[in-house]
Structure 1
Amino acid sequence: MSYFSSDTPPLGAAQPRFLGAALYDDPSNGYRDSFASQNTQNTFRTAPSVVTSSVYALTNDTPQAEQSAAYRDDPNDPEYNSGSGQGGNSNSPRYLAEKRSAYAIPRVKSKRGLIIAGSILAAVIVLVAIVVPIYFVVIKPKSSSSNNSSGSPSSPTSTSTSSSGQPASDVVTGGNGSTITMEDGTTFTYLNPFGGTWYWDPQDPFNNNAQAQSWSLPLNQTFRFGIDKIFGVNLGGWLTTEPVSYAPALYQKYPTAIDEWTLSEAMAADTSPGGGLSQLETHYQTFITEQDFAEIAGAGLNFVRIPLPYWAIEVRSGEPFLPKTSWTYFLKAIQWARKYGLRINLDFHALPGSQNGWNHSGKFGSINVLYGPMGIANAQRSLDYIRILAEFISQPEYQDVVIIFGITNEPQGTPIGQDALSRYYMQAYNNVREASGIGEGKGPFISYHDGFLGLPQWAGWLPNADRTALDNHPYLCFDGQSSAPMSSYAQTPCTTWGATMNTSMNAFGFTAAGEFSNAVTDCGLYLNGVGLGTRYEGTYTPGTWPVMGSCTPWTDWQSWNSTMKSSIEQFALASMDALQNWFFWTWKIGNSSTSGVVESPQWSYQLGLQNGWMPADPRVASGTCANQGIWSPPLQAWQTGGAGAGQIAAAVTSSYTWPPAQISNAGAVSLLPSYTPTGTVATLPPPTFTYSSAHAVKTASAGDGWENPSDTASGMVGIASCSYLNPWVGTAPPPSPLCSSGAAARAVPAPLITPVPRHQS
Structure 2
Amino acid sequence: MMLFFKAVKALGLLPAIYAQAGIFKVEESSSASPSSSASLSIISEEIAEPSSSSRLSEIEIIRGVNLGGVFLIEPFIRPSLFDQFNSSDTSDTPVDEWTFSAALGKEEAKRQLEDHWDTFVTKDHLEALAENGINWIRIPVGYWAFNLTDDEPFVDGQLPYIERILGWAQETGLKVELDLHGAPGSQNGYDNSGHRVTPEWLHARINVDRTLDALRKMSLLAVEWEDVVYGIQVLNEPSRWKWPVADILEFYNEAYDLVRGITNDVYFMIHDTFLGPNDWSTLVSSNWTHALMDTHIYQMFDNYIITLNESAHINMVSTMAENVTRFDRTNIGVVVGEFSAATHDCTKYINGLGRGSRWEGTLEYVDHPLCPFESCSCTGDYGSDYTQFSDHYKRFLRRYIDAQLSIYDQELAGWFYWNFRTESAPEWDYLLGVEQGWIPKFPRTAIPKSIEEEVSATDL
TM (norm. structure 1) is 0.49
- Whether 2:447 is the aligned partner of 1:610: answer no
SS of the equivalent of 2:242 reads: helix
Distance 1:584 1:419 in 2: 29
Q: CA distance change for structure 1 residues 583 and 276 in 2, over 3 Å: closer, same or farther?
A: closer
Q: CA distance change for structure 1 residues 563 and 350 in 2, over 3 Å: closer, same or farther?
A: same
- Whether 2:313 is the aligned partner of 1:489: answer yes
Report deviation, 1:343.
0.4
Distance 1:364 1:268 in 2: 18
Query: 1:447: which partner in 2?
Result: 269
SS of the equivalent of 2:83 reads: helix
Distance 2:244 2:299 in 1: 24
Query: 2:218: which partner in 1?
Result: 389
Distance 2:259 2:320 in 1: 33
- CA-to-aligned-CA distance 1:673-695 (integer Å, 9 cap, x gap): xxxxxxxxxxxxxxxxxxxxxxx
Query: 1:267: which partner in 2?
Result: 104
Report deviation, 1:302.
0.3
- CA-to-aligned-CA distance 1:447-487 (integer Å, 9 cap, x gap): 01011122122104200312211110111110125455435
Q: CA distance change for structure 1 residues 389 and 164 in 2, over 3 Å: closer, same or farther?
A: closer
Query: 2:257: which partner in 1?
Result: 430
* 1:59-78 aligned within 5 A: none
Q: Is the 8 A contact 2:290 2:332 kept in 1?
A: no
- CA-to-aligned-CA distance 1:485-530 (integer Å, 9 cap, x gap): 4355334312321x32222154662110111111111110110110
Q: Is the 8 A contact 1:353 1:378 kept in 2?
A: yes
**Alignment coverage as a number of residue pairs:** 394
Q: Is the 8 A contact 1:414 1:452 kept in 2?
A: no
Query: 1:107: which partner in 2?
Result: none
AA partner of residue 396 (structure 2): S
SS of the equivalent of 2:237 reads: coil
User: Which residue, out of 283, 297, 302, partners 1:479?
Assistant: 302
Distance 1:165 1:587 in 2: 24
Q: CA distance change for structure 1 residues 261 and 465 in 2, over 3 Å: closer, same or farther?
A: same
Q: Is the 8 A contact 2:188 2:238 kept in 1?
A: yes
Report deviation, 1:429.
0.7
SS of the equivalent of 1:602 reads: helix
- CA-to-aligned-CA distance 1:217-259 (integer Å, 9 cap, x gap): xxx993546x7211000001001101011112x1111231100
Structure 2 unaligned segments of length 5 or more: list them.
Answer: 14-25, 34-52, 87-92, 447-460
Report deviation, 1:154.
4.1
Query: 1:352: which partner in 2?
Result: 184
Q: Is the 8 A contact 2:418 2:429 kept in 1?
A: yes
User: Which residue, out of 258, 263, 288, partners 2:95?
Assistant: 258
Q: CA distance change for structure 1 residues 607 and 527 in 2, over 3 Å: closer, same or farther?
A: same
Q: Is the 8 A contact 2:176 2:231 kept in 1?
A: yes
Distance 1:546 1:483 in 2: 9
Q: CA distance change for structure 1 residues 153 and 558 in 2, over 3 Å: closer, same or farther?
A: same
Query: 1:421: which partner in 2?
Result: 248
Q: Is the 8 A contact 1:501 1:579 kept in 2?
A: no
- Whether 2:163 is the aligned partner of 1:307: answer no
SS of the equivalent of 1:525 reads: coil
Distance 1:328 1:426 in 2: 30
Q: CA distance change for structure 1 residues 303 and 242 in 2, over 3 Å: closer, same or farther?
A: same
- Whether 2:394 is the aligned partner of 1:565: answer yes
Query: 1:412: which partner in 2?
Result: 239
Query: 2:118: which partner in 1?
Result: 285
AA partner of residue 451 (structure 1): T
AA partner of residue 215 (structure 2): I
AA partner of residue 163 (structure 2): L
Q: CA distance change for structure 1 residues 412 and 618 in 2, over 3 Å: closer, same or farther?
A: farther
- CA-to-aligned-CA distance 1:160-191 (integer Å, 9 cap, x gap): xx94479xxxxxxxxxxxxxxx437xxxxxxx
Distance 1:283 1:459 in 2: 41
Q: Is the 8 A contact 1:537 1:546 kept in 2?
A: yes
Report deviation, 1:392.
2.7
Structure with more helix by fraction: 2
Query: 1:574: which partner in 2?
Result: 403
Distance 1:576 1:330 in 2: 29
- CA-to-aligned-CA distance 1:12-37 (integer Å, 9 cap, x gap): xxxxxxxxxxxxxxxxxxxxxxxxxx
Distance 2:29 2:136 in 1: 29
Distance 1:561 1:155 in 2: 58
Report deviation, 1:415.
2.0
- CA-to-aligned-CA distance 1:131-156 (integer Å, 9 cap, x gap): xxxxxxxxxxxxx997xxxx994463
- Whether 2:328 is the aligned partner of 1:538: answer no
AA partner of residue 183 (structure 1): A
- Whether 2:12 is the aligned partner of 1:156: answer yes
Distance 1:618 1:486 in 2: 26
Report deviation, 1:566.
1.6
Query: 1:754: which partner in 2?
Result: none
Q: CA distance change for structure 1 residues 336 and 154 in 2, over 3 Å: closer, same or farther?
A: farther
Q: Is the 8 A contact 1:297 1:340 kept in 2?
A: yes
- Whether 2:200 is the aligned partner of 1:368: answer yes
Q: CA distance change for structure 1 residues 336 and 558 in 2, over 3 Å: closer, same or farther?
A: same
Distance 2:215 2:5 in 1: 29
Structure 1 unaligned segments of length 5 or more: list them.
Answer: 1-143, 167-181, 185-219, 437-441, 591-597, 622-761
TM (norm. structure 2) is 0.80
Distance 2:358 2:244 in 1: 28
Distance 1:505 1:154 in 2: 41
Query: 2:49: which partner in 1?
Result: none
AA partner of residue 455 (structure 1): P
Query: 1:377: which partner in 2?
Result: 206
Distance 1:445 1:607 in 2: 29
Q: CA distance change for structure 1 residues 353 and 417 in 2, over 3 Å: closer, same or farther?
A: same
- Percent of aligned positions that are identical: 31
Q: CA distance change for structure 1 residues 262 and 156 in 2, over 3 Å: closer, same or farther?
A: same
User: What root-mean-square deviation, in Å, do the aligned CA atoms of Structure 1 and Structure 2 show?
Assistant: 2.6
AA partner of residue 179 (structure 2): D
Q: Is the 8 A contact 2:75 2:96 kept in 1?
A: yes
Distance 1:456 1:547 in 2: 30
Q: Is the 8 A contact 2:278 2:324 kept in 1?
A: no
Report deviation, 1:543.
4.5
Distance 1:508 1:334 in 2: 28
SS of the equivalent of 2:235 reads: coil
AA partner of residue 501 (structure 1): V
Moved more, 339-348 or 610-619: 610-619
- CA-to-aligned-CA distance 1:103-150 (integer Å, 9 cap, x gap): xxxxxxxxxxxxxxxxxxxxxxxxxxxxxxxxxxxxxxxxx997xxxx
